[in-house]
Amino acid sequence: MTQSFPLSVAVIGAGPAGLMAAERLAASGARVDVYDRMPSTLRKFLMAGRGGLNLTHSEPFERFVARYGKRAGNLRPALEAFSADALRKWADGLEAETFVGSSGRVFPKAMKASPLARAWLKRLEALSVRVHLRHDWTGWTGGALAFDTPDGAVEASPDITILALGGASWPKLGSTGGWGDILAGRGVEIAPFRAANAGFQVAWSAHFMDRFAGQPLKTIALIFGGRTVRGEIMLTRYGVEGGAVYALSGSLRDAIARDGHADLVIDLKPDMTAGQLASKLGRASPKDSLSNRLRKALSLPPAAIGLVHETHAADVKAVTVRLEAMQGLERAISSAGGIRFEDLSAGFELKALPGVYAIGEMLDWEAPTGGYLLQACFSTAVAAADSILGRKTGVS
């Protein structure tokens, strides 16, 4: 199918995926309208950027792609077409120059999202992208998109529709997953939503919880399901959270669903062998208490020593913590579940709804924190936009 511009496109969802698709299409001459049910754009993006906006990661591509687990193959073409380097160049073009942190994560030098967001919205305005806020998409009326607004029902009939409605985490910021029923009614299969990148509940004693909640455990290793992850975690009143936990959250979540619990092993001294630990402890005074030996001989902080006592661990390299449940979607950083890749074309068009594309966290993939979440949102947006442009100009 070949069509001359101006092509009209409706993008539903004003998060990073939606706005990236809008920019790509508008820059090529399309007439783009963006709709969002919330009163402002980029709400989740701005919230995530309060503590330093982790845009992407600088690690080698093959290792990067592997972070997407079973969906690595589905996402690979999009990640190749719009890579971490491409994302950095895009951010640099918005005067949000990036740098690589010591962990390999990539951040804007401003260490926050708001300057980038302002520059981005200004660019979209210059490209004549029209943004319609407080427009709650309710599906289709006949062949037209239907929205509820404070001023009543509104319809739109674009040539192309891009859905960028997010997953089901942080619902107060707009990602409710409520679109699932709309698409399911149109023959699109939706994998159930599950929390991803969230903390886990542990039945701490009142003493441990009161004394150590809010304290981190740094330079440790977590071991579960044959995988070892280095990093740090935070002890909380309800259990544990943090980047190292999130890296294992999918397998931990699935184990709890299967077995009713998951036993997470923590190595408090991953840089020391068992022999080195035994030697250091052997030189400690036998008159010292266990706490003093762990503090003096191994330099363990109070929270780590408290964890050894709490779990009755006999080995600081194998402290077992039983996780009883995962935090819900309302506290999760991201979600798993959504539109199955089997229901999409290679260009992210819905097979059941020709002319309708889906991108970002709406799709059934998950990845740990570290820049992987935003990268996939941006990459799928670019891939869908390029597919639309190729389709409308007759390029296969």
Q: 335-363, pLDDT tens digit by residue? A: 999 999 999 999 999 999 999 999 999 99
Using the structure block, give the residue that is written with the tokens 């290679």.
346
| Residue closest to 182 by CA, chosen among 134, 148, 132 | 148
What residue type is 33 in one-letter code? D
**Banded pLDDT at 1 (limits 50, 70, 90):** very low
243 neighbors 368 (Cβ within 8 angstroms):
yes
Of all helices (H) and strands (E), which one includes residue 202?
Answer: none
pLDDT at 249 over 80: yes
Q: Residue 48: its pLDDT value, please? A: 81
| Residue closest to 376 by CA, chosen among 106, 161, 87 | 87
pLDDT at 331 over 70: yes
What residue type is 258 in one-letter code? R
| Residue closest to 156 by CA, chosen among 143, 167, 168 | 143
Arithmetic mean of pLDDT, 297-325:
96
What are the pLDDT digits (tens) for 287-301? 888 899 899 989 999
pTM (2 d.p.): 0.91
**Banded pLDDT at 193 (limits 50, 70, 90):** very high
Q: Where are the beta strands (DSSP E) in 209-269?
A: 216-224, 227-235, 239-241, 262-267
DSSP string, 274-320: HHHHHHHHHTS-TTS-HHHHHHHHH---HHHHHHHHHHT-S-TT-EE
Q: Residue 172: its pLDDT value, please? A: 86
Q: Residue 50: its pLDDT value, please? A: 77
Helix (H, G, I), strand (E, B) or coil at 354: coil
Q: Residue 40: its pLDDT value, please? A: 96
pLDDT at 52 over 50: yes
pLDDT at 393 over 60: no
What are the pLDDT digits (tens) for 115-166? 999 999 999 999 999 999 999 999 999 999 999 999 999 999 999 999 999 9
Task: Say which residues have a Cβ less than 8 Å from residue 73's Cβ, sequence separation at least 6.
Answer: none
**Banded pLDDT at 285 (limits 50, 70, 90):** confident
pLDDT at 4 over 90: no
Mean pLDDT for the chain? Answer: 94
What are the pLDDT digits (tens) for 85-97? 999 999 999 999 9
pLDDT at 5 over 60: no
| Residue closest to 364 by CA, chosen among 121, 123, 108, 189 | 189
184 neighbors 343 (Cβ within 8 angstroms):
no
pLDDT at 2 over 90: no
Arithmetic mean of pLDDT, 23-46:
96
Which domains does the chain carry? Answer: 8-195+330-392 (3.50.50.60), 200-326 (2.40.30.10)
Comparing 2 with 334, which gets the higher pLDDT? Answer: 334
| Neighbour order of strands in the sheet with 98-100 | 56-57, 105-108, 98-100
Q: Which tokens hold the place of 298?
A: 């191994």
pLDDT at 286 over 90: no
How many helical (H) and strand (E) elements, i.e. helices and strands, does the chain have? 14, 20
